[in-house]
Amino acid sequence: MLRLRCKARSGSHALPALSPHSPLRDMQAALAALTGVPAPAQRLLLGFPPRSLDLSDGERRLGELGIHSGDTLIVEEDTSKPDPDPPVVAKRTMSHPLREAVPVLARRVVPADNSCLFTSVSYVVEGGVYDPGCAPEMRNLIAQIVASDPESYCEAVLGKTNREYCDWIRREDTWGGAIEVSILSKFYQCEICVVDTQTVRIDRFGEDAGYAKRVLLIYDGIHYDPLERRIPDSDIPPQTIFSTSDDVVLAQALELADEARRKRQFTDVNRFALRCMVCQKGLTGQLEAREHAKETGHTNFGEV
């Protein structure tokens, strides 16, 4: 995959996951979403000294254009090119600028109650319906799936026996993680993308399964929230389910994660301070918490 950035008047942005085989039109669509410069009006510069890219053939592969991982593209708007907006939009009299109606990807905060993963997954797969009581049902669903396939979900995979895991995941003070996301991805037949704010990385569960739908969560080291695309100051319902061909939404998710990282809106799970809520012992990081749980059986921890 190519790691690319772009610079425009709106600032610096990370592009979504593109490959040398991606067509130019896909990159231009991503650039349009990030910078606000429509593809027909784009002028792209690359290298040093900057050279203009040939944009005449949108089907050309990025590798053929000499684009490599680590490159930064400069995006300029060529005002001499015709307005790409359709005539109906161009002629319509609007009381507000068009840009106010542009949808944005945003975090939808859910409670930090040990069940944030389950609440977040439920919210996105149900199309933006918030159900605060969904966690017990989802925990039980996961336990049933695991119990029905002890060969796939063995102790080597789960870190505990199949029976112990099923009892453990049903408890309301248990946190969900990668295993549970993977199971829910298969159950709901959709790709679940988890955007990490500490590493500015996207982990895509179900990426190779051929699913048509994609949902997104954002993760700060200990807490999950759902991501949704919404129009500010609008009564239009948010969008939480996306096509797996929509890589623009991945670029927007990375932008959110990068902004959160710059603001230090993440928890370093190896250094954060915890307290065992059973015996009140102070702990540092997830490793000490795991060791304490093994020694005592205590699994209810709170962040200090």
CA distances from 239 to 122, 163, 214, 231, 303 (A): 14, 38, 11, 9, 32
Catalytic residue among 26, 223, 247, 292: 223
Report which of 191, 58, 198 is spatially closest to residue 125, judged by C-alpha positions: 191
Terminal C-alpha separation, the chain: 39
- Is 196 among the catalytic positions? no
β-sheet with 301-303: strand ranges across: 282-284, 273-276, 301-303
Q: Using only C-alpha atoms, what is the Rg of the chain?
A: 23
Residue 242, strand partner residues? 214
Catalytic residue among 13, 26, 116, 247: 116
- Is 116 among the catalytic positions? yes
Report which of 250, 131, 141, 144 is spatially closest to residue 120, judged by C-alpha positions: 131
CA distances from 141 to 166, 182, 226 (A): 10, 13, 20
Spell 151-186 as b/e; 16+ CB within 10 A means b: eebeeeebeeebeebbebbeeeebbbeebbbebbbe
Catalytic residue among 113, 131, 167, 268: 113
- Is 113 among the catalytic positions? yes
- Count Cβ atoms within 10 A of the Cβ of residue 62 and give its class: 0-12 exposed, 13-18 middle, 19 or more buried: buried
Residue 43, strand partner residues? 76
Which residues does the annotation mark as catalytic?
Answer: 113, 116, 223, 298
